[in-house]
Structure 1
């Protein structure tokens, strides 16, 4: 692996891309430290200690702690991701969007343009809601979090937060185009990983003060290593359906007659199901923060409780199947195979092939849903049963490991295309096309 990093520094283009990516992520982290004017930072920090399990704590995780300090990047990149996911889901109901997704590069640029417009609108709405909520939220020690509440504060805050989100969107697009890896995913990953030093420092303090035994710490580290290994294994796993292409004679040339495979990922939906499930489950706690009489009902959905875990798992299963059905159409795959002379051995082309692919996809989606549920529920079980501080949820682990795998795979591709040895001499990091 050390040789792989050494080889990466020898390729000028790859070196420039790595440096550019690191510089853009550094700019992102600097922006997190720039506060929005007119906010009492100490009162806001005290408020966030009381709302860690609400929507604010959830957004704060994906913004890298920017919302906790209410910086200019407080909204993070989540408005962009939310709009992109909604547009992806709407293509099942909108023939126009479906055609754009099939038009290639031209359609992709149009979709990106719509995503930007939607991001501006959603950022304006969320910024307004956060500004009004901060004006009305009392400080834990009494008083107000906002120094000078009023229309001027709301307008200034909305403009600041919207501009911060658009700046982050620009950074993500620049990383994707001129850097290495997916820029939006790397920004989320950087925000999550940035909290790791604080988590390690707090854990070390617990061990020194005797609140956590050394054996419990070793157990937690072993579980974390096992979870990460399981994520790597499942995320790179595939169900390969064999494909045979018929032999065609065109003039004096013979085409086809080759064998291939159709790769189906075990976890086709990625991290979308736990993100959607988490977003829905934090709404009751968020409403209870502003509506006191809802607190007894919201307590049933406290993280770590049996009702929370059951509803969380049920939502993950639902979104796994729903998002997979939206993003993967077996009928289109079967039609494309028939169009290019491909078929599955023992299965008739057309509708029978589509039914077979759908049946296989449903079975592996069940395994993927079980895997995602286990990864996401395990941290809450550790917190509830062993009373230990597990600082990163399953969703965060899925994002960090998945983004790291994709980024390393892209670096590996750059190395191999220039005849350099990759990170792994015997077992290379597999891309999504690998097994």
Structure 2
């Protein structure tokens, strides 16, 4: 990877793209420090430190935004509305025929889908900005009182508009990286936000080791080794694939023979990426998020109070029931996401139309059944891989509650490593486009 970066830096055109990407990331981090007016940031930080814990949805959002959410800055929502809009549009593309036809139109259809995604992202940013303002006002008491109704309306308008403008700027920067930089712009901003949280996690381990060196020295060393092993495991699984052999039939036209080539269909073990974890995490974090707005009763006396307390405690991140349901949901969402990406019947029909087939398998339904069996096995392996990555930090939190800040460690490492590998592949393809061998070589 470092050799790729060094070789890419030596090419002037790629160097300009790298510098432009770094400039956008620098502006993104600077914007994450610009505070929204009329807010008491110290109150927000204190409330988030006590409530955005244990792997709930608030902690997930805070890590995604690089800590901007807990500081109530302009980029507090970061790219989360755009990510949610992209997920919604991706699901609707497979559910609604008009969007599916638009997707199949090629580049023009993709431009239309991007415009619709941007509109959905704007609508979600308005909703999330208003919801975060209500949380700041009602739950945190962090909004400054204007002294009159008109002044409070103006303060609310400024705060909500600041969050919406921050999201729009972040999405614009992501699009600029796509056009003039290196890699996927949204992924790069997500990468920068998560990477900014790693020093906080390292600082937590360092502080614990400093205060109790007899206990945490070897524990911190073990955690470091485990995280390095996890990175190596993620890199290995990202590169792993199952190759389905394909043989094309020979045909003779005049005196020439065509076809007869052997190739394969690559099926990646981890083709769905981190999406199943995000879906499962969003689903599992709903009860804990609801409890923020309606606290658990301290002294339940009625049936509904007891039922509500039991329901919230059932989804507590420190219980084995949470880990089990979380693991099952990751497997289920992984199968769901893969089923949207791969259509065995369509693949079998395309092979038959191009005079290709799998050796030893008849064309048509037997081919689609074989591809479906292979996909089911590979998907199960990928789902267990994602489940282990997601469950490991939760198990770490069980062993020591002081390490709750590492509750999202596996997921964040998966995102960071995946984006880094994707960026390196993009750099390699950029260099291949600019490398031309001479006629005499």
CA distance 1:92–1:7, shift in 2 (3 Å): closer
List runs of 5+ in structure 1 lacking aligned partners.
139-143, 421-435
Spell out the pairing of 1:250-289 with structure 2 (5 A cutoff): 250=253, 253-289=256-292
In structure 1, what is the Cα distance between the partners aligned to 2:421 and 2:200?
Answer: 24
* Count of paired positions: 415
Are 1:52 and 2:72 counterparts? no
Are 1:302 and 2:316 counterparts? yes
Aligned residue for 1:183? Answer: 185
Deviations 1:356-412 (A, max 9, x none): 111110111011111100011001101212445252422211101111111111112
Q: 2:157 aligns to what SS in structure 1?
A: helix
Alignment counterpart, residue 145 of structure 1, candidates 142, 146, 162: 142
User: Which runs of structure 1 show a deviation greater than 6 angstroms over 4 or more consecutive aligned residues?
Assistant: none
Give the superposition deviation at 1:251.
Answer: 5.6
Using the TM superposition, name which of 49-58 and 239-248 deviates more: 49-58
| 1:132–1:154 CA contact under 8 A, matched in 2 | no
Spell out the pairing of 1:130-209 with structure 2 (5 A cutoff): 130-138=132-140, 144-148=141-145, 150-209=152-211
Alignment counterpart, residue 76 of structure 2, candidates 67, 74, 77: 74
Give the superposition deviation at 1:2.
Answer: 4.9
Are 1:404 and 2:407 counterparts? no
In structure 1, what is the Cα distance between the partners aligned to 2:255 and 2:97?
Answer: 41
Q: 1:8 aligns to what SS in structure 2?
A: helix
Give the superposition deviation at 1:300.
Answer: 2.5
In structure 2, what is the Cα distance between the partners aligned to 1:103 and 1:336?
Answer: 18
Using the TM superposition, name which of 287-296 and 59-68 deviates more: 287-296
Give the superposition deviation at 1:250.
Answer: 4.7
In structure 2, what is the Cα distance between the partners aligned to 1:254 and 1:177?
Answer: 44
Give the superposition deviation at 1:321.
Answer: 0.6
In structure 2, what is the Cα distance between the partners aligned to 1:285 and 1:208?
Answer: 32
Spell out the pairing of 1:376-415 with structure 2 (5 A cutoff): 376-387=390-401, 389=403, 391=406, 392-415=408-431
Give the superposition deviation at 1:314.
Answer: 1.2
Aligned residue for 1:117? Answer: 119
| 2:57–2:289 CA contact under 8 A, matched in 1 | yes
CA distance 1:253–1:106, shift in 2 (3 Å): farther
Give the superposition deviation at 1:305.
Answer: 1.7
Are 1:236 and 2:261 counterparts? no
CA distance 1:74–1:356, shift in 2 (3 Å): same
In structure 1, what is the Cα distance between the partners aligned to 2:239 and 2:207?
Answer: 36
Across the aligned residues of Structure 1 and Structure 2, the Cα RMSD in angstroms comes to 1.8
TM-score (norm 2): 0.90
In structure 2, what is the Cα distance between the partners aligned to 1:44 and 1:59?
Answer: 14
In structure 2, what is the Cα distance between the partners aligned to 1:319 and 1:369?
Answer: 9
Alignment counterpart, residue 359 of structure 1, candidates 370, 373, 380: 373
TM-score (norm 1): 0.91
